[in-house]
Amino acid sequence: NAGVTQTPKFQVLKTGQSMTLQCAQDMNHNSMYWYRQDPGMGLRLIYYSASEGTTDKGEVPNGYNVSRLNKREFSLRLESAAPSQTSVYFCASSGEQYFGPGTRLTVT
Amino acid sequence: LAKTTQPISMDSYEGQEVNITCSHNNIATNDYITWYQQFPSQGPRFIIQGYKTKVTNEVASLFIPADRKSSTLSLPRVSLSDTAVYYCLVGDMWNKLVFGAGTILRVKS
């Protein structure tokens, strides 16, 4: 089992560009989550999906959209990137929350 | 969502037992208490989860008093590799969990 995988690992965007962060899990979990972590801070929940076909806002959803494509995949989209979205993004799955390795995003 | 309060940092020496206490005064009836460990440049790793009394696994113990307004993570005989940030979370295990700032544990030789 690969667990939770995320792509890409690193990304640099210019202000206003868009991109989609991909997340997939092979553990047959119902719940999936997207967090962001700024330097020296704890993780903040952006969006979560309790099951396939459902999504809900977390603590900091503004500027992001999500898609729960199927049970395995949960993507996070930045429509118009801003420097304030420079962060490390983590995807997680299940109630105990197994985390992926993270995507380090820089917006210039 | 219940808010948690943890010490910002703790220092210990190899071989000692480390206890990290977390306060969660407004914990709800359905909430579980979960602890995670995070190393630099990695995602958090699940350590232990409990609802009440005591839970033990191969790496840690979790002590929860009867009123559930606090919890203590106990790490027996820490080593240098246990240096990390430790997060206490409180929430419904099937929905969203909110991370606080965490406790930086430094283990010295």
Q: Which of B104, B95, B106, B101 is nearest to B4 (CA)?
A: B101
A48 Cβ under 8 Å from any chain B Cβ:
yes
Question: Model confidence over B23-63: pLDDT tens digits?
Answer: 999 898 988 899 999 998 899 999 999 999 999 999 999 99
Mean residue pLDDT of chain A comes to 93
Residue A30 Rama label (left phi>0; alpha psi -120 to 50; beta): alpha
pLDDT for the residue A39? 84
- Give contacts of B100 with chain A, Cβ < 8 Å: 42
CA quadruple A94, A37, B45, B35: dihedral sign: negative
Helices (H) and strands (E) in chain B, counts: 0, 9
Q: Are the C-beta atoms of residues A19 and A13 closer than 8 Å to each other? A: yes
The alpha-carbon gap from A82 to the nearest alpha carbon of chain B, in Å, equals 22
B96 falls in which pLDDT band (50, 70, 90)? low
- Give contacts of B87 with chain A, Cβ < 8 Å: 42-43
Q: What residues contact residue B1 under an 8 Å CB cut-off, 6+ apart?
A: B90, B91, B96, B98
Query: Cα–Cα distance between A45 and A33 in angstroms, integer?
Result: 7
- Give contacts of A56 with chain B, Cβ < 8 Å: 96
- Write out the H or E segment, with its range, that includes residue A10: strand A10-13
In the block, tokens 């820089």 appear at: A106
pLDDT for the residue B72? 97
Least confident of A39-43, A68-72, B60-64: A39-43
Burial of B37 (0-12, 13-18, 19+ CB in 10 A): buried
Query: Cα–Cα distance between B70 and B64 in angstroms, integer?
Result: 7
pLDDT for the residue B1? 55
